[in-house]
Structure 1
Amino acid sequence: MQIYDITVAPNRVQEVASSGRYLYYYNGSAGGADASITVKHDMSGTAIVLKPGQAFRLDEKERGGGRWLIGNYANAAPILGRVVVGNGRIDDNTITGSVEVIDGGKNRTMAGTAYIGTGYQAAVAAMYSGVQLWNPAGSGKNLMVGGISAACTVSAWTAWLIREGAKLASNVATFGAKKDGSQTGVGVVAVGTIGAVAANAVFSLSGAQQQANSYKFTEPMVVRPGEGITLWVVNAVNLTNQSSFEWFEEAA
């Protein structure tokens, strides 16, 4: 059995020269996109689609030898991973799930598709302060939000997380890719104020004065094109709001 590293860009094929009759897709990640690969054996003509942790063996009647041709099934983002080729067999898939979680986040950061950003809205008399992560209409991407945080500098506070269909007034520049802060994706961090906040929160955070509170979602929250999520400080008007979002972007 031999291990081969693979890097398969969209609409490209990587050749693995091996006489083995068994191919195991040990692990793979496409930065949050579909990491399925196409596998074709050139001598037999057999082709199949594999997800990480799946394997395929040529029938004994099929011709061995030759090359395995590894393709990018979804053609959405580069796939980085490993395949094992030989004449043995691997049955334990438990390692793949752990490797995918770790490598998936690292690969998104290295690919420049993972972002973090913060916004600050100053206190305004008779108004509630909000910080928003906005996904412009027609962006072609979904924002997959993994974490949020909020704080207030002048009072104990409560912040509501609300889905919204309108963008706040002012963009801020304090956001960018985790790999290089100068890189930006489609997501926009904006700030603004409002006279009344709708009572339709999907989540809330609270904290003491000058104490930030954060939350990591077990599964990402999706913000689709033409939508936003806003953290509003709602316990009183005329309060500051400094909130942050952590997200990655993938094809909608």
Structure 2
Amino acid sequence: MQLLVQGDYLRIMDSTGAVEVITEGYRLGPIKAGQGQRNSPFTRVQIVDKSGAPNIGNVLIADSDFVDQRINGDVSVIDGGKNRTVAGGSYMGGGFSTAGVGVYAQLQLWNPAGTGKRLVVNQVQWGATSATAIFMKEASASIGGALLVIANKMTGGAAGVAQVRAATAGAAMAGYFDCAYVQASSQNVLEFSDPYVIAPGYGLTLQCSESNKEIGGVFEFFEELV
């Protein structure tokens, strides 16, 4: 976007994702909401999306005497999340995996190699039809199996790059970093205090600790450029 406007002060008030700002005097970015430049005169501004998705936001341009004591940026968690959803960058997906005798049910959120995007996981839900424990582990290989449904949180939004897979394993999971016990037909929710980020070629796998038991789960996440 080209803005034919003159000023000395520029600030990204809010945005769905990162942007780059280019003037005749400087090139700044990628930057996010709350960041900008002051005391640097310009007569035109070019704003370039760096998120790889539809990017919605507002920019403040003023002269060098402008005063701003407001706090903007990452503290705007609710509005930022809404803007990301409206722009079509937020997703949720999951389902069920039923195991047979001697094998262990698995669910996996997978980011295929070469996507150029990270999966930023906000929350994971899981449960089972009978009391058991659920393990969680980083994955460097996809588990194969059936591809389950992923929904864009914006109705009518386009599909993303991520995959949710269901399969079975022939052995109990080792080296897991989380374990939670669930009662029959109940649900656990893990909301990360800091998001869990999945790079291309990696995934996040849930596995039932006992064979011949069903596991269900849902992943909530958004995608951003690496």
Q: Which of the five TM-score ranges fits, normalised by the shorter chain? A: 0.7 to 0.9
Name the residue aligned to 1:90: 67
Name the residue aligned to 1:102: 78
Matching residue within 168, 191, 205 for 2:180: 205
The 3-state SS of whatever aligns with 2:107 is strand
Deviates most, 215-224 or 89-98: 89-98
Q: CA deviation at 1:16?
A: 4.5
- Percent identity of the aligned residues? 29
Structure 1 unaligned residues grouped into runs of 5+: 1-12
The 3-state SS of whatever aligns with 2:88 is coil
Asked whether the 8 Å contact 1:162–1:230 carries over to 2, the reply is yes
Structure 2 unaligned residues grouped into runs of 5+: none
Give the counterpart letter for 1:15 in structure 2. Answer: L
Q: CA deviation at 1:215?
A: 1.0
Q: CA deviation at 1:91?
A: 4.1
Q: CA deviation at 1:123?
A: 3.6
Asked whether the 8 Å contact 2:148–2:166 carries over to 1, the reply is no
Matching residue within 142, 154, 174 for 1:167: 142
Give the TM-score normalised by the residue count of structure 2: 0.85
Asked whether the 8 Å contact 2:121–2:197 carries over to 1, the reply is yes
Task: Name the CA shift for 1:163/1:28 in 2 (closer, same or farther; >3 Å).
Answer: same
Q: Give the Cα separation in 1 of the matches to 2:16 and 2:60.
A: 19
Q: CA deviation at 1:121?
A: 0.9
Name the residue aligned to 2:28: 49
Asked whether the 8 Å contact 1:113–1:177 carries over to 2, the reply is yes
The 3-state SS of whatever aligns with 1:167 is coil
Asked whether the 8 Å contact 1:24–1:90 carries over to 2, the reply is no
Q: Give the Cα separation in 1 of the matches to 2:144 and 2:28.
A: 46
Task: Name the CA shift for 1:129/1:185 in 2 (closer, same or farther; >3 Å).
Answer: same
Give the TM-score normalised by the residue count of structure 1: 0.77
The 3-state SS of whatever aligns with 1:104 is helix
**Count of paired positions:** 222
Matching residue within 88, 102, 105 for 1:126: 102
Structure 1 vs Structure 2 CA RMSD: 2.5
The 3-state SS of whatever aligns with 1:219 is strand
Name the residue aligned to 1:9: none
